[in-house]
Amino acid sequence: MAKNAGPGGAVEIEISRDHFNAYLHIRSKIPPAAEEVFEVLKAEKITSGIKSADKLRIFLENMELYNNTLIIAAGQPFTYGTDARIEYMFETDDRTRMEDELAGADSVDFRSIGSIASVRKGDVIARKIPATQGEAGLTVFGLKLPGEWGMDVTLKAGKNVSMSENKLDFIADIDGAPIVSKGMIRVDPVLIIEGDVDYSTGNVVFDGTVAVKGSVLDGFTVDARGDVIVENTIQSARVSAGGDIVVKRGILTRGKGIVTAEGNIYAKFIENSTVECESNVVVENAIMNSFVSANGKVLAMTNEGAIIGGRTMAFDRVACRNLGTATHPTTVVQCGYRFEVQRKYLEGVAKLQAVQKQIKELQKNYEFVSRTNFDDIDRLGEIRGKMMKMLKIQDQMKEELTDLNATRIFNQFAMAEVEQAAYPGAVIFIGDARFNVKKETKFASFKWDAEEKTIYMSSFDETAQGMRKSGARAKTVLVIDDSKAVRKTLRLIVEKMGLRVAGEAEDGSEGVELYRQLRPSLVTCDIAMINMNGVETLKAIKKDNPKARVVMISSERDKSQILDCVMAGAKDYILKPFVPSRVVTVIRSALEN
């Protein structure tokens, strides 16, 4: 707030932080003339929204009724635009809702999963309604401020879908089923199998979506380029999909089959099975004694929501209601690595350990023969020859592991979350760090502490403010922006990433002071702010700490200043209107590099 006094100190003008209001305070019992007030306003360059002379005179004649204070000038605050959205011209299922980067997957309605819509060639199947910009505002100084943009949304045209000339309409190129997956909309031809996949159908290979009204029985194969939707169960079979796999009941391959998808996998339960996918595994009831791997998330957050026994791997996040049981079966959860690379690495480590064990046995044999039959040259030579061979194999394995380790990309924002209880016998890995659950633990989140290189435990509330291991700290973010809507949006995205918003500032000067107090891991800073702009704020923060990580927030109007920010040490920038996936990518990159 700015305060400025007029002649004699009788007239004082106070400016609100956002510059949309100017307050008149009279500091004497004798009211000044209206002309004197207007002269002070003119000297302070306040030009917009000034009260009329008649209203000012009424105030001056009745100051005690107004506590000697009047809003002498009122600007016009800018407004917030609407978010972009996609309108679908067909009935979508709950998978489409999960495509939103900010949407949670813990409230999926499994009854609506796997429905198949039908469209005709030439139909408009979806339409993008662009984000709008709010109305411009005007400060009391006459400065025009642009309205705030709504959040953007992206959807790409996939196979058998074209875009209209205005790049807003998505048009079907064939008759078929419209599918939304991984930020893309496509149209698949559809094969419907009225019963089971059995000897009457044989193995199924289809360049589109396959809908099975019954089950996939033992020993059979379903291979689809699109989705696979099974109304009943997948038994000891091999099922693969280029899109999603939806199993209305459960997957129970009894260790003899495998279920793989390039998209998501949804099932009521998974039991004694191997399941792998490129995106997310979402289970309604439980994952039991299975090997489940996902390069996205593994979620069991509805109904029972249990993970019991086996090994569950996810690059991003594993979340369930209960982990393990009171009977203490070994239940392993591993987060932070792509599963195919991590599996090869672990297999390589196991083989190396087996070779090293053989080398130790050979060493013991050599020492024994040397002590008891030192003159048995042939036997000693044989053991020495085997030893040399195994040492060469060991060196080769170490080299291969070093190369493989270089390909392991660690997601330091990976986490495991347990909404109700984690039981003894559960083992949690974040990257290569290990956490053994030794006693029943309720409402727990397990996350990576990059500074301590270990796992810390916090309460299940996404704010990382609950119980913690001694010395462990969460990654924190300071948000500097004069727009309350932008701060709220960034907080939502940041907390969904598993980070903690340590503080918020409405302008640059406040932001610099908060930075000095909080020392956050990352700062997001708007370029266009009233009292102290983003470039000045960035320079002040970098002067205080040259290693500070700062990401700038800019609109197209301020894009010309981005180069100045980069030259001043900004890590990256984010353009408004926000695309959530872009925000996540930039923040992750800024923290990792």
Higher pLDDT, 196 or 592: 196
Q: Which residues pair with 95 in a beta bridge?
A: none
Residue 347 in 3-state DSSP? helix
pLDDT for 466 equals 34
For the CA atoms of 383, 384, 386, 391, the dihedral, rounded to the nearest 10 degrees, stands at 140
Residue 416 parent element (H or E): strand 415-422
Q: Could you give the C-alpha distances from 93 to 85, 113, 302, in angstroms and in order?
A: 16, 5, 17
Domain covering 476-592 in this structure, CATH number: 3.40.50.2300
Task: Say which range, 43-47, 88-92, 347-351, 557-561, has the weakest mean pLDDT.
Answer: 557-561
pLDDT for 467 equals 33
Is residue 140 within 8 A of residue 47, CB to CB? The reply is yes
* Contacts of the segment 345-352: beta carbons below 8 A, 24+ positions apart: 345/401, 345/404, 345/405, 345/408, 348/397, 348/400, 348/401, 348/404, 349/401, 351/397, 352/394, 352/397, 352/398, 352/401
pLDDT for 1 equals 44
pLDDT(5) > 70: no
Mean pLDDT of 509-526: 93
What DSSP designation does 81 have? Answer: P
pLDDT for 576 equals 84
pLDDT(322) > 80: yes
Q: Where are the alpha helices (DSSP H) in 66-132?
A: 94-98
